C-alpha cells in the first residue's frame, strides 16, 4: 500500500522545526507503524539523509517508551494501542498522515519525535511508592487483599507512563497518570499509611513540573493505550480533598501536640 | 587461570546462611563512604540500586532508556516462581531447587540454585509489601498457576503483566531512594567502557545519548545488570535497544564469558511475517496451561484449522510426552515444533508455525473464564495478527528469548575481575543449559534484593581503595578509546545500513547456531562471521555526528559488538560435543530424537577468555558436581 507521511523534523530543542513530506510506496499491511518508519529510515540513510528520531524499545506495547501523535491523536487511531502495536492494516491505501511529537511544557523536545518525559519520574519520586526496605516484609499471605481491590489496583497499575494522556489533554494535565498511581497504591491495604501524604506530594510535584490542571475533558482516557479509566481521576480528586482537609489538619495537630 | 566459584560446602540447606555469616560487614556509618555503580535498571539492576541505597551506600545507576521504568524485564508476562507451597500441592524449596537443576539439564551449580529457591520466598513477601497487585483468590490470599517444567502450581502473577508490575515495584523503590538523595539516576546514558585501575573495576565511561558527551564515572565497585545478549540474533523477543555492549566491554577487559551457546528459544512466539520485521512478540507460556498444541497429521494439509477433523490432528506434545503434555520445558517444546515444521506439517503462510488451540478449553470452562485468564494476551494476539483466537487457533513458532550464558561469576556474583559484579540475565549463574518459565524474574530479584547487597559488602570491607580522579590516566585512556571507536564508525560512510548488516548476522546465527546445531554448520558460520565483521567495518553507513542524539550511531556500536560476540557463541557451541538444554547438537541425540548429554566429558561450565578480535578465545573449565540432584536423562514422558 501507499502512505504519505508528514513528519515533524527538528534537530534539537534550540533549532526551529518543520513538517517534511515523505512518500512510501511499498507498505505491507502487516507491518507495525514503527516498522514502517524503520523502512523509511533505511531508505533515508541510503540516500544520505539523516533518519527520523523516535523513541521505542520493547515494541510489545508495555515499556511505554514509544509514542507520538498521528493526525492529532496520541498513538494513532486504534483504541488501546501504542504506536509499536499499531499495524498498517488499519490505514487506507493512499492515506496521508501527520506525525508530531508529544507536545507539553513538561515534555521538552529532544529531537524529531522524541521528547523528555523525566518529569514523570520526578512525580513518582515525590511519593509514588510504598516505603518498605528489602528484608522487612511479613509473609505474603499475612496481608490478605480482597480480590476486588487487587483487580481494581491492577487496572490502575497497568499504566505504562507513556505520556499520551498529557499529550492529548488540552491542558497538558497529568491527572490520569497521577490518578493511576494514587489509585493503585491507595486501593491496597499496604498503601494506606502513606495514602494522604502521597497524593499531596505527587500533585504538588506535578504542578512544579508544569503539568496543567484537569478540567474533566476525558481525552486522556480516550487515548490511553492501557485503557486506564477516568475513575482514577475521581479517586485522585477525592483523596486530594480528603488529604487537604483531614490529613493536613491531623498533621498540624500532631506537630502542635509534639511541640 | 584457576576458577574458584567460592561455593560453601556442607549441607546444602544451610550453605547460604553460613556463608552470609562469614561475609564481612560494612558498618552503617561507613556505607555512605562507598560509591557503587550499577549499570542497567531492570529487575536485577533496579532492585540492587534500590537496596544498596536503602542500606546507605552511595549509588549511581545508568540506563540507556529514557527512564529506569522501561527496562525489558517489563515485558515478562507469565509470572514468578516461589516455593511457598500455598497450594498445599507438595511444593518445597527442595523441589524448586530440584526442578531448576533438572530443567537446566544438569549444567548449573547446585549451591547457587538452592539459594535461589530459598530466596524465592523472601521475594514474594517483599513484592507484596511493595504493593505489587498480584492475582488473588476470593478469600484475599495469593493465587498461583502452573508453568512449563513443573508439576506443582508455584507461579505468582499479575495478569499477563507480572514483569511490568515487579519492575515498577523496583522502579518505585529506586525513585524513593532518588528522592532521599542516596541514588543518582543517569537515564539515556550508555556504558561504553569499563575502567580498571590496578586490576580492579573502578569505574565506567558513558555516552550521554542526548548530547553525545563522553564522561568517566569513578566508583569502588561496578555492578552490571544489563540483561542478555540474545539480540545478536536480530529477530528475538528482546527490546530493540537491549544489547551486550556492557558485558562485551567487560569481557574484552578480562572478565570470562560462560556458556555463551546456552541460548533459550521460547516456543510460543508469533511467527515471522516478512523481511521488514523488527522483532518477534512472545505470547506468554502460561497459554500452554489451557491451549493445546497441534499440527495436521498429513504434510501439506492447507485446510483452515477449524475444518481439520479431530482424527487428522496431531497433538504431538501430548502424544510424545503424556506426563507433561503441553507443559514440557521450553527447549523440548521448541524443538518439537521445529521437527514437525521440518516434516512439512507446519501451518500458516510460511509453513513455520504450529497451532495453539483454545477450542477445548473454551468448551470446558466457557469464554468468560478464558477471557479472565488470558484476555489481554488474546487481545494482543488479535492486534498483531488480525485474527481472533477465540474463534481460530493461534499460530506460534519458537524464537530466541533469553540467554542462560553470560559473564562468569562466583557464588558472590563477582566476575573474574575484582570489584566487577554481574547480576540477573547478564551473568550465567543459575539456569544451566535451559531456564524454566517464571524463573528469570525470580533470579533477577534474588540477585538484586537479597544476594548482591550482602556479598558486595564483603568485598568493600576487605579491600583498601586508593582515591581516584576521573582525570587520571586510566579514565582518560578509556575515554579516548571510546571516542576513537565512535569516530571510526562515523567516518566509514559505506553503502550498508546498520540494520541490514545486523539482519544478515542474525540470520547466520539463527540458521547455524539456533534451535539445532551441527559441527559443519558451526564451522561454516565461524568462517562467515569474520567476513561479515570486515564488511561492517568497511561498508557501514552511519550518518550524523557523535555530538547529538543519534540512534543509528547507538545501534552501530551495539552491532559492532555482536559481530565479535557471534563468533564466541559459535566457538562455544562447536566445542560442546553434546546436547543439553537449549544447546542441541544434531550429532548427539537419542534414537527418539531427544538431547543426549555427555556428563563424563562436559559436566562443566565453559568460561572463555578474550585473546583478541578474530583470535580463538581461551577455554577455562569450572567442573560441576552434583551431590543432591543426581544427573539423569531428563524425561518428561
The H-or-E segment that residue B395 falls in is strand B394-403
Write out pLDDT tens, residues B274-329: 889 999 998 888 899 899 999 999 999 999 999 999 999 999 999 999 999 999 98
pLDDT over 90 at B632, yes or no: no
Q: Work out the widest C-alpha separation in chain A, in whole angstroms.
A: 74
| Shared-domain flag, residues A223 and A168 | yes
Helix (H, G, I), strand (E, B) or coil at B380: helix
Question: Predicted confidence band at A151 (pLDDT cuts at 50, 70, 90)?
Answer: very high
Distance CA A153, CA B416 (A): 44
Judging contacts by C-beta atoms under 8 Å, the chain A residues touching residue B279 are 59
| Shared-domain flag, residues A25 and A142 | no
Helix (H, G, I), strand (E, B) or coil at B451: helix
Per-residue pLDDT, averaged over B613-637, amounts to 92
Distance CA B435, CA A189 (A): 34
Closest CB to A147: pick one of B140, B383, B551: B140
| Shared-domain flag, residues A94 and A146 | no
Residue A228 is predicted with a pLDDT of: 98
Chain B residue with Cα closest to A50: B543
Contact B125 A80 (CB under 8 A): no
| Alpha helices (runs of H) in B349-472, residue ranges in sequence order | 359-365, 367-385, 440-445, 452-461
Residue B285 is predicted with a pLDDT of: 82
Lowest mean pLDDT among A58-67, B547-556, B628-637: B628-637
Instruction: Read off the pTM.
Output: 0.96
Q: Does 1.20.58.100 match the CATH number of domain B481-611?
A: yes
Write out pLDDT tens, residues B426-478: 999 899 999 998 999 999 999 999 999 999 999 999 999 999 999 999 999 99
Distance CA B307, CA B316 (A): 19
- Closest to B581 in 3D by CA, of B407, B431, B401: B431
Chain B residue with Cα closest to A65: B70
Distance CA A100, CA B290 (A): 43
Closest CB to A125: pick one of B135, B175, B241: B175
- Closest to A175 in 3D by CA, of A222, A129, A232, A223: A232
Residue B2 is predicted with a pLDDT of: 84
Nine-digit cell string for B195: 575502567
Closest CB to A34: pick one of B66, B278, B453: B278
Write out pLDDT tens, residues A125-146: 999 999 999 999 999 999 999 9
CATH, range B265-400: 3.90.700.10
Question: Predicted confidence band at B355 (pLDDT cuts at 50, 70, 90)?
Answer: very high
- Closest to B93 in 3D by CA, of B20, B165, B8, B14: B14
CA–CA–CA angle B9, B109, B3 (5° rounding): 80
Closest CB to A134: pick one of B71, B126, B544: B126
Helix (H, G, I), strand (E, B) or coil at B316: helix
Minimum distance, in Å, between the CA of residue B154 and any CA atom of chain A: 13
Minimum distance, in Å, between the CA of residue B179 and any CA atom of chain A: 6
| Shared-domain flag, residues A221 and A137 | yes
Per-residue pLDDT, averaged over A197-208, amounts to 97
Minimum distance, in Å, between the CA of residue B238 and any CA atom of chain A: 7
CATH number for position A106: 3.10.20.30
Write out pLDDT tens, residues B480-520: 999 999 999 999 999 999 999 999 999 999 999 999 999 99
- Selected residue of A39, A62, A181 to mutate for chain B interface (largest B Cβ count, 10 A): A62
- Closest to A118 in 3D by CA, of A199, A174, A61, A62: A174
Write out pLDDT tens, residues A80-102: 999 999 999 999 999 999 999 99
Residue B566 is predicted with a pLDDT of: 98
Give the HSE-up count for residue A250: Cα atoms under 13 Å, Cβ half-sphere. Answer: 8
Judging contacts by C-beta atoms under 8 Å, the chain A residues touching residue B134 are 140, 150
| Shared-domain flag, residues A84 and A157 | no
CATH number for position A146: 1.10.1060.10
Residue A256 is predicted with a pLDDT of: 65
pLDDT over 60 at A37, yes or no: yes
Looking at per-residue pLDDT, the higher value among B616 and B2 belongs to: B616
Distance CA A112, CA A155 (A): 32
- Selected residue of B52, B86, B131 to mutate for chain A interface (largest A Cβ count, 10 A): B131
DSSP B125: H
Q: Determine whether B411 is exposed, middle or buried from the number of CB atoms within 10 Å of its CB (0-12, 13-18, 19+).
A: buried
Residues of B marked active site are found at: 330
Which domain does A21 fall in, by range?
Answer: 3-110
| Shared-domain flag, residues A234 and A124 | yes
Domain end residue (candidates: A56, A85, A110): A110
Ordered strands of the A73-74 beta sheet:
A18-24, A3-9, A95-100, A69-70, A73-74
| Shared-domain flag, residues A31 and A156 | no
Residue B345 is predicted with a pLDDT of: 97
Per-domain residue ranges of chain B: 265-400, 481-611
| Shared-domain flag, residues A142 and A193 | yes
Judging contacts by C-beta atoms under 8 Å, the chain B residues touching residue A146 are 136, 140
- Closest to B404 in 3D by CA, of B480, B505, B323, B331: B331
Lowest mean pLDDT among A19-28, B405-414, B539-548, B591-600: B591-600
Closest CB to B133: pick one of A53, A57, A157: A157
Minimum distance, in Å, between the CA of residue B87 and any CA atom of chain A: 12
Q: Is-contact B508 B501, C-beta < 8 A?
A: no
Residue A140 is predicted with a pLDDT of: 97
DSSP string, B215-234: EEEE-SEEEE-----GGGGS
| Shared-domain flag, residues A190 and A206 | yes
| Shared-domain flag, residues A87 and A126 | no
CA–CA–CA angle B628, B634, B636 (5° rounding): 120
Per-residue pLDDT, averaged over B141-151, amounts to 88
pLDDT over 60 at A258, yes or no: no
Judging contacts by C-beta atoms under 8 Å, the chain A residues touching residue B84 are 140-141
| Shared-domain flag, residues A82 and A160 | no
Minimum distance, in Å, between the CA of residue B494 and any CA atom of chain A: 9
Judging contacts by C-beta atoms under 8 Å, the chain A residues touching residue B380 are 60-61, 85
- Closest to B229 in 3D by CA, of B221, B238, B220: B238
Chain A residue with Cα closest to B181: A125
Contact B66 A117 (CB under 8 A): yes
Extract the runs of DSSP E, i.e. beta strands, from B107-239: 155-156, 183-186, 189-197, 200-208, 214-218, 221-224
Phi, psi dihedral angles at A115 (to 5 degrees): -125, 165
Distance CA A182, CA A236 (A): 6
Nine-digit cell string for A37: 518508519
Phi, psi dihedral angles at B337 (to 5 degrees): -65, -40
Distance CA B390, CA B388 (A): 5
Residue A203 is predicted with a pLDDT of: 97
Mean pLDDT score of chain B: 96
- Closest to B540 in 3D by CA, of B476, B488, B464, B601: B488
Beta bridge partner(s), residue B186: B62
Contact A141 B383 (CB under 8 A): no
Is any Cβ of chain A less than 8 angstroms from the Cβ of B148? no
Q: Is-contact A64 A162, C-beta < 8 A?
A: yes
Distance CA B332, CA B324 (A): 11
Cell 562447536 belongs to residue: B574
Residue A254 is predicted with a pLDDT of: 67
Q: Is-contact B529 B523, C-beta < 8 A?
A: no
Minimum distance, in Å, between the CA of residue B194 and any CA atom of chain A: 24
Write out pLDDT tens, residues B187-238: 999 999 999 999 999 999 999 999 999 999 999 999 999 999 999 999 999 9
Instruction: Look at phi and psi of residue B541 and say left if phi exceeds 0, alpha if psi is from -120 to 50, else beta.
Output: beta
Helix (H, G, I), strand (E, B) or coil at B355: strand
Instruction: Look at phi and psi of residue A111 and say left if phi exceeds 0, alpha if psi is from -120 to 50, else beta.
Output: beta
How big is the A-B interface in CB pairs under 8 Å?
218
Distance CA A146, CA B130 (A): 17
- Closest to B61 in 3D by CA, of B46, B83, B75, B80: B46
Q: How many domains does chain A have?
A: 2
Mean pLDDT score of chain A: 95
Residue B149 is predicted with a pLDDT of: 74
Contact B69 A131 (CB under 8 A): no
Residue A208 is predicted with a pLDDT of: 98
Question: Predicted confidence band at B636 (pLDDT cuts at 50, 70, 90)?
Answer: confident
Domain end residue (candidates: A110, A135, A162): A110
Phi, psi dihedral angles at A219 (to 5 degrees): -65, -30
Question: Predicted confidence band at B634 (pLDDT cuts at 50, 70, 90)?
Answer: confident
Q: Determine whether B23 is exposed, middle or buried from the number of CB atoms within 10 Å of its CB (0-12, 13-18, 19+).
A: middle
Residue A257 is predicted with a pLDDT of: 59
Distance CA B585, CA B113 (A): 25
pLDDT over 70 at B90, yes or no: yes
pLDDT over 50 at A164, yes or no: yes
Distance CA B401, CA B238 (A): 7
Question: Predicted confidence band at B376 (pLDDT cuts at 50, 70, 90)?
Answer: confident
Question: Predicted confidence band at A259 (pLDDT cuts at 50, 70, 90)?
Answer: very low
Judging contacts by C-beta atoms under 8 Å, the chain A residues touching residue B276 are 28, 31, 35-36, 38-39
Phi, psi dihedral angles at B8 (to 5 degrees): -70, 155
Terminal Cα distance for chain A, rounded: 73
DSSP A243: I
| Shared-domain flag, residues A235 and A204 | yes
Q: Determine whether B491 is exposed, middle or buried from the number of CB atoms within 10 Å of its CB (0-12, 13-18, 19+).
A: exposed
Amino acid at each position: 500500500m501507499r502512505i504519505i507521511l508528514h513528519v515533524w523534523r527538528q534537530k534539537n530543542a534550540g533549532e526551529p522545526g518543520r513538517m517534511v513530506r515523505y512518500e512510501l510506496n511499498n507498505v505491507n499491511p502487516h507491518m507495525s507503524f514503527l516498522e514502517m518508519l524503520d523502512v523509511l529510515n533505511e531508505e533515508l540513510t541510503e540516500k544520505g539523509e539523516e533518519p527520523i528520531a523516535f523513541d521505542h524499545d520493547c515494541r510489545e506495547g508495555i515499556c511505554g517508551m514509544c509514542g507520538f501523535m498521528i493526525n492529532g491523536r496520541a498513538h494513532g487511531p486504534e483504541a488501546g494501542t501504542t504506536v509499536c502495536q499499531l499495524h498498517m492494516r488499519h490505514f487506507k491505501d493512499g492515506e496521508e498522515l501527520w506525525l508530531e511529537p508529544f507536545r507539553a511544557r513538561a515534555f521538552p523536545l529532544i529531537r524529531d519525535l522524541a521528547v523528555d518525559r523525566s518529569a514523570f519520574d520526578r512525580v513518582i519520586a515525590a511519593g509514588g511508592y510504598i516505603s518498605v526496605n528489602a528484608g522487612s516484609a511479613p509473609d505474603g499471605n499475612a496481608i490478605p487483599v480482597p480480590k476486588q481491590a487487587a483487580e481494581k489496583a491492577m487496572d490502575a497499575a497497568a499504566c505504562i507512563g507513556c505520556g499520551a494522556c498529557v499529550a492529548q489533554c488540552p491542558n497538558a494535565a497529568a491527572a490520569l497518570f497521577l490518578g493511576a498511581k494514587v489509585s493503585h497504591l491507595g486501593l491496597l491495604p499496604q498503601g494506606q499509611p502513606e495514602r494522604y501524604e502521597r497524593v499531596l506530594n505527587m500533585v504538588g510535584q506535578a504542578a512544579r513540573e508544569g503539568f496543567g490542571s484537569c478540567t474533566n475533558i476525558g481525552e486522556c482516557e480516550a487515548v490511553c493505550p492501557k485503557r486506564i479509566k477516568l475513575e482514577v481521576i475521581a479517586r485522585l480528586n477525592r483523596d486530594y480533598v480528603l488529604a487537604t482537609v483531614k490529613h493536613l489538619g491531623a498533621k498540624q495537630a500532631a506537630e502542635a501536640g509534639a511541640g | 587461570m584457576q576458577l574458584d566459584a567460592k561455593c560453601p560446602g556442607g549441607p546444602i540447606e544451610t550453605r547460604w546462611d553460613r556463608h552470609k555469616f562469614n561475609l564481612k560487614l560494612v558498618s552503617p556509618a561507613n556505607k555512605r563512604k562507598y560509591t557503587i555503580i550499577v549499570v542497567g535498571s531492570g529487575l536485577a539492576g533496579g532492585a540492587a540500586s534500590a537496596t544498596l541505597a536503602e542500606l546507605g551506600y552511595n549509588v549511581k545507576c545508568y540506563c540507556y532508556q529514557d527512564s529506569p521504568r522501561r527496562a525489558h524485564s517489563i515485558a515478562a508476562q507469565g509470572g514468578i516462581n516461589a516455593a511457598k507451597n500455598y497450594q498445599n500441592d507438595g511444593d518445597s524449596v527442595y523441589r524448586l531447587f530440584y526442578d531448576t537443576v533438572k530443567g537446566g539439564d544438569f549444567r548449573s551449580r547446585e549451591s547457587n540454585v538452592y539459594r535461589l529457591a530459598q530466596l524465592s520466598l523472601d521475594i514474594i513477601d517483599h513484592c507484596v509489601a511493595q504493593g505489587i497487585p498480584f492475582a488473588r483468590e476470593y478469600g484475599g490470599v495469593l493465587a498461583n498457576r502452573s508453568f512449563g517444567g513443573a508439576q506443582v502450581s508455584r507461579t505468582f502473577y499479575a495478569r499477563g503483566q507480572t514483569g511490568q508490575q515487579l519492575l515498577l515495584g523496583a522502579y518505585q523503590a529506586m525513585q524513593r531512594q532518588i528522592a532521599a538523595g542516596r541514588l543518582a539516576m543517569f537515564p539515556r546514558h550508555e556504558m561504553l567502557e569499563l575502567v580498571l585501575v590496578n586490576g580492579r573495576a573502578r569505574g565506567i565511561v558513558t555516552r550521554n545519548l542526548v548530547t553525545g558527551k563522553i564522561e568517566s564515572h569513578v566508583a569502588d565497585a561496578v555492578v552490571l545488570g544489563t540483561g542478555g545478549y540474545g539480540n545478536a540474533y536480530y529477530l528475538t523477543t528482546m527490546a530493540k535497544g537491549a544489547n551486550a555492549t556492557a558485558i562485551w566491554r567487560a569481557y574484552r577487559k578480562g572478565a570470562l564469558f560462560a556458556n555463551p551457546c546456552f541460548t533459550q528459544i521460547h516456543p510460543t512466539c508469533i511467527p515471522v511475517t516478512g523481511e521488514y520485521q523488527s522483532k518477534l512478540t512472545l505470547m506468554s507460556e502460561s497459554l500452554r496451561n489451557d491451549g493445546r498444541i497441534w499440527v495436521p497429521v498429513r504434510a501439506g494439509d492447507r485446510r483452515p484449522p477449524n475444518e481439520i477433523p479431530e482424527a487428522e490432528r496431531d497433538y504431538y506434545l501430548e502424544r510424545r510426552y503424556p506426563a507433561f503434555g503441553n507443559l514440557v520445558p521450553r527447549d523440548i517444546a521448541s524443538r518439537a515444533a521445529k521437527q514437525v515444521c521440518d516434516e512439512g506439517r507446519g501451518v500458516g503462510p510460511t509453513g513455520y508455525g504450529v497451532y495453539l488451540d483454545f477450542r477445548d478449553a473454551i468448551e470446558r470452562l466457557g469464554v468468560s473464564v478464558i477471557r479472565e485468564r488470558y484476555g489481554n494476551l488474546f487481545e494482543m494476539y488479535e492486534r498483531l495478527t488480525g485474527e481472533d483466537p477465540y474463534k481460530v487457533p493461534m499460530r506460534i513458532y519458537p524464537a530466541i528469548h533469553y540467554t542462560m550464558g553470560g559473564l562468569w561469576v562466583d557464588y558472590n556474583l563477582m566476575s573474574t575481575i575484582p570489584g566487577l559484579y554481574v547480576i540477573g540475565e547478564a551473568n550465567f549463574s543459575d539456569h544451566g543449559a535451559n531456564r524454566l518459565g517464571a524463573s528469570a524474574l525470580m533470579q533477577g530479584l534474588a540477585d538484586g534484593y537479597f544476594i548482591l547487597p550482602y556479598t558486595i559488602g564483603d568485598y568493600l570491607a576487605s579491600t583498601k581503595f586508593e582515591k581516584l580522579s576521573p582525570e587520571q590516566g586510566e579514565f582518560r585512556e578509556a575515554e579516548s578509546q571510546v571516542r576513537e571507536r565512535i569516530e571510526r564508525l562515523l567516518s566509514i560512510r559505506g553503502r550498508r545500513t546498520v540494520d541490514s548488516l545486523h539482519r544478515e548476522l542474525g540470520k547466520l546465527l539463527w540458521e547455524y547456531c539456533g534451535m539445532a546445531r551441527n559441527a559443519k554448520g558451526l564451522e561454516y558460520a565461524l568462517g562467515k562471521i569474520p567476513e561479515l565483521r570486515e564488511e561492517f567495518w568497511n561498508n557501514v553507513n552511519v550518518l550524523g555526528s557523535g555530538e547529538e542524539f543519534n540512534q543509528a550511531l547507538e545501534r552501530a556500536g551495539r552491532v559492532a559488538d555482536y559481530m565479535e560476540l557471534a563468533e564466541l557463541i559459535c566457538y562455544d557451541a562447536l566445542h560442546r560435543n553434546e546436547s543439553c538444554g537449549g544447546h542441541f547438537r544434531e550429532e548427539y541425540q537419542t534414537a527418539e530424537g531427544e538431547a543426549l548429554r555427555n556428563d563424563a566429558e562436559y559436566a562443566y561450565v565453559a568460561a572463555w577468555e578474550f585473546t583478541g578480535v578474530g583470535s580463538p578465545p581461551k577455554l577455562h573449565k569450572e567442573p560441576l558436581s552434583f551431590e543432591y540432584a543426581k544427573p539423569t536423562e531428563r524425561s518428561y514422558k
